[in-house]
Chain A
Amino acid sequence: MALLQISEPGQSLDPHQRRVAVGIDLGTTHSLVAAVRHGVAECLPALDGKVILPSVVRYLDPAAGGPGRQIGHEALAAQIGDPANTISSVKRLMGRTRAQVADVDRLSYTVVDDNGMAVVQTVAGRKTPMEVSAEILATLRFRAEDSFDDELFGAVITVPAYFDDAQRQATKDAAQLAGIPVLRLINEPTAAAIAYGLDNGSEGVYAIYDLGGGTFDISILRLTRGVFEVLATGGDSALGGDDYDQALAAWVLQQAGLGPVADAAERAALHRKARRIKEQLSAQDEAVFRAEVDGRRLEQTVRREDFEACTAALTARTMAAVRKVLRDAGVERDDVQGVVMVGGSTRMPVIRRTVGEFFGREPLTNLNPDEVVALGAAIQANALAGNSQDGDLLLLDVIPLSLGIETMGGLVERIVPRNSTIPTARAQDFTTYQDGQTALALHVVQGERDLVADCRSLARFTLRGIPPMAAGAARIRVTFTVDADGLLSVSAKEQGSGVEARIDVKPAYGLTDEQIAAMLQDGFATAQQDMAARALVEARVDADRMIAATRSAMAADGDLLDAAERQAIEALMTALSAVAASGSATEIEAATQALAKGTEPFAARRMNRGIQQALAGRNVAEV
């Protein structure tokens, strides 16, 4: 197993010492992995030369022996013959209940409700959407590791900007199952903006119109000197190219006087045909739809106008979201300097025409709409891993949906408003209503509506360990923090006593930490590796990194420490080096923690200095 290359942060990295950091576009219909090589972002091909991996996983009967599943092109080819076990568009199920999956009954595979989570029923048993996605992610990970002949330092994985907390958490869980360290989750339109912004290099306000297989995002960003600031984002996480396929299939059936198709295999075949016809109509004015339904042979000529008419409502929905996001951003359509088209579905002439007319300018399409998101993610991954020297790129993204808590009467009190720049934190004070109450329950929801019933339930947090007091005497400050990935965490402290409450999180839809740990124990996607050996290697790598980082920090800002403090830190580093050489994983982890604790005040002083310098730099420039 190749060892991870470690270099001192800040030191110039020669190409052989760069960390392998990739960008992954985990799409509804297609997935890709890209990396920056020789200063250029490029998508990594599989052995057959194809960069696109269809987001399809087919589960095989375990009794038959063998690998148990097929992923990608193989699985897609098998879909017609085995639709019940071939899972496509699993992204639509991530972080969702069965009831929330649009047209769940029309899917060619079976989706059931498992404790509030939508899961698929296959011949190999129940599979959560995270497990299915993890198969796709693992395939891309192995592809990257083979390309570089080295282990992965980490990946930036993209998600639709409009994905809520549950959907984002599910994506992170899938990456964890696939053994991929996630450097950051970034929004797909922002990733596209990076690829275009750096390509075109001009400052200003951009609109990113991203219509993928299953999701639609519209984001407004401002680019100034390498800083990408998201002004507002909106969209529909259940609207995409798939819906255009379904609308066309429904129209064709209607023209033939037929109702919806009962047989799963036929339904799948019909949608695939509809997709091909849709693609043909992007290049030609008419196409002939031929299919067999219920034993009948169908032949229907479809003109481009017919297609555009039967999908007009879908296109109108996207434009309504565009108008809303412009208002949220406080920007007029004329202020928008460039409109970027992202996602294969933007190849449809009706989309380009409608968007072009709306903004009064030709949309930018020079980058491959299928690849642009992965390329942007790769550029960001490269920067986060510390590989790029200029360090000019900075993303200031926003949370797409408001976060709130349930209050009396099933109402929502909004705590973090939508389009707040992340990371962000808000505190809210609560008190108890009974004498001696030691716990508090909070229900956190996401959405813009006033009733809890109309918003997405994210999680129930139980705060325990509140010191018993008279009713109303406790002042519990609950802090809601949304990190740079757009994920929520909650902490609470009773102000009077300073006691920090313990928080138990029950996610509304998703896996608990215990469930993930159990899946990892069962050797998911890393079946071949010895868990203990891996833990030891990881502990050593962490220790090395910690020591290197501390040394470099002391070299840069050692003057912030007095002699005694410096000695203390040196001692911790020496102790850690010793344990790393011969100790067990747990011993190494403990020593790493000790060094971390010992350098905490130093880290605080360094950050302070950095901020002061940033300010001072500005002041001098202004004089």
Chain B
Amino acid sequence: MNLQSTDFEIFGLPPAFALDRAALDARWKDLQREAHPDRHAAADAQTQRQAMQWSVRINEAYQRLKDPLQRASYLCELHGAPVQAENNTAMPAAFLMQQMQWREDLEEARTPEALERMADEVAAARRQMLAELQQTADQRHDWSALAGQVRALMFVERFARDVEERLDQLGQ
């Protein structure tokens, strides 16, 4: 195993979408206990450089595996079907209609209650999509379909962030 190993290999986890979050967090801390520059602060420059590279790589892998969207995207890449959202903007019509409706609702929402309701609706949609992602990845192993689902989820997550931002603004 080396710096070029996959995130899953570094964390000793099976390359799947389903993931034990508690195991991931614990493993991250175990790895950083070994690699973090602070562990090698009194060592020679070589070891410190190595430690830095490993520590950075471990943090990168942790961030990617921790976030379902990034994890799914990574799986696509590993299986030769990279997501490439900038080049693939086509979406099913029904999905686009839903997005447009949501945007309009956001424009019109004036109260925190209305925004909270929207946030709940989007969260439910997101949960549903994640369940589907898991099916596509771990049962069907259909990587190009997965890439499509990831692109759709990216829209939904961006929208969820916008709702939260609006809630923040109202809160101030």
A and B pair up: yes
Shortest Cβ distance from residue B40 to the other chain A in the assembled complex, whole angstroms:
9
**A327 close to B34 (CB less than 8 A):** no
The answer, among B31, B38, B62, B168, for a CB contact under 8 Å with A421, is: B62
Q: Does B35 contact A (CB under 8 A)?
A: yes
| Chain A residues near B1 (CB-CB < 8 A) | 608, 611-612
Task: Flag whether A439 is at the interface (Cβ < 8 A).
Answer: no
The answer to whether A617 touches B46, judged by C-beta atoms less than 8 angstroms apart, is no
Find out whether the CB atom of B38 lies under 8 angstroms from the CB atom of A184: yes
For the residues of A in contact with B, the DSSP-based class is helix
Would you call A1 an interface residue if the criterion is a C-beta within 8 Å of the partner chain's C-beta atoms? no
Let me know if A423 is at the binding interface, CB within 8 A. yes
Interface segment, one of A82-90, A110-118, A126-134, A542-550: A542-550
Judged by a CB distance under 8 angstroms, whether B50 is at the interface is yes
Q: How far is the CA of A422 from the CA of B55 in the complex (A)?
A: 8
Which chain A residues numbered 181 to 227 have a C-beta less than 8 Å away from chain B? 183-184, 224-225, 227
Closest A residue to B34 by beta carbon equals: A614
A403-430 toward B: CB 8 Å interface, digit per residue (1/0)?
Answer: 0000000000000000011111100000
Q: Mark A247-281, 1 if CB is under 8 A from B, else 0.
A: 00000000000000000000000000000000000
A618–B56 CB distance below 8 A: no
B27 CB to closest chain A CB, in angstroms?
A: 6
Q: Which single residue of chain A is at the shortest CB-CB distance from B1?
A: A612
Establish whether residues B60 and A603, one from each chain, have CB atoms under 8 Å apart when the complex forms. no
Measured between beta carbons, the chain B residues less than 8 angstroms from A606 are 47, 50
Q: Which residue of B lies closest to A393 (CB)?
A: B38
- Residue contact B12 to A424, C-beta cutoff 8 Å: no
**Cβ contact within 8 Å between A327 and B168:** yes
User: Which residue of A323, A424, A614 contacts B33 across the interface (Cβ within 8 Å)?
Assistant: A614
A: contact size bracket: 35 or more
- Residues of A contacting B42 with CB < 8 Å? 9, 19, 384-386
- Chain B residue numbers with a CB within 8 Å of A15 are none
How long is the Cα–Cα vector from A396 to B12 in the complex, in angstroms?
Answer: 21
**Min C-beta distance of B87 to chain A, whole Å:** 15
A425 touches B60 (CB 8 A): yes
Q: Report the Cα distance A327→B62, complex, angstroms.
A: 21
| Residues of the B chain whose Cβ atoms lie less than 8 Å from the Cβ of A610 | 34-35
Closest to B42 in A: A386
CA distance A383 to B12 in the complex (A): 29
Q: Write the chain B residue with the least CB distance to A602.
A: B46
A-B contact pairs, 21 of them (CB 8 A): A184-B41, A227-B32, A327-B168, A384-B41, A386-B41, A394-B33, A394-B38, A423-B52, A481-B52, A483-B52, A484-B38, A549-B43, A600-B46, A603-B47, A607-B54, A610-B35, A611-B1, A611-B34, A614-B31, A615-B11, A615-B31
- Interface of B with A (CB < 8 Å)? 1-2, 10-12, 23, 26-27, 29-39, 41-47, 49-52, 54-56, 59-60, 62-63, 164, 168, 171-172
